[in-house]
Amino acid sequence: MIVVLTGGTGGAKLVEGLYLELDPNDLLVICNTADDLEVHGLYVAPDLDTVVYTLAGIVDRAKGWGIQSETFTTLQRLGQLGEETWFRLGDQDLATHLVRNRLLNQGQTLAQVTARFTKMLGIGAQILPMSNDRVETRVKTHKGEISFQEYFVRDGWGDSVEGLALVGVERSRPAPGILEAIGNANGVILCPSNPATSIGPILAVPGIREALREVQAPIVAVSPIVQQRPFSGPAHKLMAHLGMEVSSFGVAHAYRDFLDLMVIAKEDSELIERIGTLGIQARATLIGMEKTEDKKRLAQELLTLL
């Protein structure tokens, strides 16, 4: 069993590569849920949905999220009725959230709802939320404290970050099966996801980081940073606020208590020796994943390393 920690579109790309290279039954994916939010009264789980849509083969590949050939008739009508439309939920996507909301209101957990979706969409891998409990990333800017999606999507992550908090994480518990999967894993992979707001929240759920420290299987991480810049998004701003060096070394340093191997971009080869001072091996390779072949090649390399 290969256990993967992921969040964001970059993480979903690597998950797809691994899904194509492994027996799907040998893949368990743990998704960040601290970005989840309520939109028009519906519970939306962006990272979970991106992984589900990607493995189901229905993701909008141009954007990396949402559903292909999407329409936005409902959203347009909501705007005409005076509702906020900055979080662009498509008509097909709304079906996911309507069903999820109903099942959650009936008492099912987020993990149970996700399992239903993966079964209905023919996905062989197991996809789990990091927790069934609500955890929310809150960002403080000069405008006040807002949700991560408000900062990232609505405001285009243009404001400087003055504070970052994970509300509810101390009371959360790992979703059932996560700790057992980590303990029995043949290898663990941390995707090239934002270490501050994608991987960080997963590690902050009580018990998960501890399980990674104790696991005997090798743990490898892929850097989301190349030449002091992220592939996309505000990882550099959020890492800097947390006092993390914005580099592959900074990512390795954040995971230093459990990480065995850091995979970095060839452009950052000069960091291999420095990462080694942390007691972590490093390997430089091509980590961009624009095409399916890139995703499969990187997945093959990681599996070989493990």
159-188 pLDDT, tens per residue?
Answer: 888 888 999 999 999 999 999 999 999 999
User: CA–CA separation, 107 vs 2, rounded Å?
Assistant: 30
**CB count in 10 Å sphere of residue 6:** 29
User: CA–CA separation, 87 vs 166, rounded Å?
Assistant: 21
What value does the mean pLDDT of the chain take?
A: 95
| pLDDT given at position 163 | 87
Give 3-state DSSP helix, strand, coil % of the chain, rounded to 5. Answer: 45, 20, 35
| pLDDT given at position 160 | 83
Give me the DSSP letters along 167-190.
ETGGG--BPTTHHHHHHH-SEEEE
Among residues of the chain, what percentage have pLDDT more than 70? 100
User: CA–CA separation, 164 vs 159, rounded Å?
Assistant: 13
Q: What is the pTM of this model?
A: 0.95
User: CA–CA separation, 188 vs 142, rounded Å?
Assistant: 38
Buried b (16+ CB within 10 A) or exposed e, 9-38: bbbbbbbbbbbebbeeeebbbbbbbbbbbe
- DSSP E strand boundaries for the chain: 2-6, 27-31, 37-39, 42-44, 126-129, 136-141, 144-147, 163-167, 187-190, 219-222, 225-226, 229-230, 261-265, 281-285
HSE of 134 in the Cβ direction (CA atoms, 13 Å)?
8
Q: What is the pLDDT of residues 145-158, one digit of tens each?
A: 999 999 889 988 88
Question: Token pair for residue 163?
Answer: 């504070």
- In the numeric block, the tokens 């592939």 are attached to 231
| Model confidence at 230: pLDDT above 80 | no
- In the numeric block, the tokens 């900074």 are attached to 250
The DSSP call for residue 219 is E
| pLDDT given at position 229 | 82
